[in-house]
Structure 1
Amino acid sequence: MFAKQSPDRYRPQMQQRMAKGNLFVGLVAVLAALSSCTPHGDQPQLPEADADFRRGQGLVSKMDYSGAIRSFNKALLTNPNSAPAHLEVAYLYMDHASNPAAAVHHFNRYLEIDPENDQSKVIRQHMDNCKMELAKQFLIAPVIPTVQRELDGLKDEIKRLQTENAELKSEIRRFKDFPPQLEPMPTDEDTGLPPLVPLSPPSPPLQARIETEQSSFIPAALGNPAPRYHEVRNGDYPAKLARVYGLKVNEILSANPGINPRNLKIGTRLRIPETN
């Protein structure tokens, strides 16, 4: 039989093994944390490691806000997905550059890159304030006097049309309630006038005379039509006028012997001959 051994004999060995196990677990946790902090693939680099970002922070502390905006924008050119750089430049545009549109853009980019951050509610409130400020700028923008006059004229026209519309609606309601009664046409007996007698056709000699005069007058009128004229406008030239009126160039030049075909003066009246 073996002698019974005391459990205190193995206690130092067990404590040493437990210490080694805890050390191993700690090393694994540290390696996991380091692997999660190390950039992989397309993950953006931390902006604190960027020289332009650090320069922007230094310029903010010196109250050189325009220089800080330039530095943060340069940092964003290098790393467009830098959420802290978007946030810093958004606050600068909002508080020191009076540029609410740029502030809204960078606040929005910050939320797109880091939507689960603790400041999202405050940032959305800043975006709403910037949008309201942007709307105020448009509302109080100076209006050109001519545009203001046109707006005033449109307002007057709208008022006039509204008044006419109300009057027409009132007339329509009145006609619906009280339709007009048409009076019958008066007869000859009502007016006391003699009845109308239809005209008799002209006698044959008179009819023949009318036809003769018409036959002699119409050909004469058609044979001597009134002359046509064209007032020269910008871009006119003889070939163009010939196409417009269905003539030849020589016909237009012959009807206007005193003109210079290469330099038609605007406002000159040209005689347009009749087409055959």
Structure 2
Amino acid sequence: MSKQLLKEQIKFGQCDPNLFKQLKIVEGIENDAAIELLSKRATLMEIKKDKTVNIDDLHYYKLLLGDIIIRDNKIIALQHSDIILINKKLVEYFQQEEKQRKIENSIDILLDISVFKGLNYLQLKQLINESSFIKLNENRMIFHQGIIPTDCIILLEGQLQQFKSTEGIELILNQNRKYFAIYECLNSKPMQYNVKTISECSLIKINRQTLLKLELDLKVKKELNIDFTQFKMEIIRKKEWLRFKTKVIEDANKDLEKRRLLPKLRTQSQY
């Protein structure tokens, strides 16, 4: 429905920038001013079923409705299709601007993390350029305890949870930490804990090879062994509670069974 609405808006030159952004017509651009300008410049191309259209270097193409395949620099419509066209150079300009803004913001975040304070601006920029930006939904596992990570992560937006789990019991260790697995990734050590998202998160993922290039300037400390005394006490406490709960249920069931076997009281007089 929203795609059909956007189609009508573009046809009549009244495109809603918010809808344009919501439908992710242009990838890699979040800036509202850029989205508004691009939405105003968008035009619509309708292709009938089985028709072919040549792709040129002047436009950015985005399928809105229908079904197409791209082959040999041609668009082939498998059914009646609507494609949005935008000036390609304009899109690339804003994508590059967005990328640069993201790099600068990421560098600011890295500078607040002690591990990266030994790196200069060019090293930080290299690190970001060789890394990837990812978005994850809530309740996604990122690291599992006991597994050796091949990447480390830096949190840009959202919230992560660091926790230990065993025998079905979880102990939350931290919900405010911004980076994970740097030491383990560099030294091929297994994770001592799990990490998962507890909200939608934006992350920087840095692979081991990139870290190794800058290893001499990174201020990486060995992860302190986590004191699991509290964790063990929690397991004991929960096990005792489960035993108590089970006993109460068993006693209640036995009592009900005894009551069931007792002679039923007569509720009507018999003469």
Q: Check whether TM > 0.5.
A: no
Determine which structure has more spread, i.e. the larger CA radius of gyration: 1
Question: Per chain length, whose mean CA-contact separation is higher, i.e. which structure has more relative contact order (CA < 8 Å, sep 6+)?
Answer: 2
- Bigger proportion of residues as strand: 2
TM-score between both structures, scaled by the size of structure 2: 0.24
- Bigger proportion of residues as helix: 1
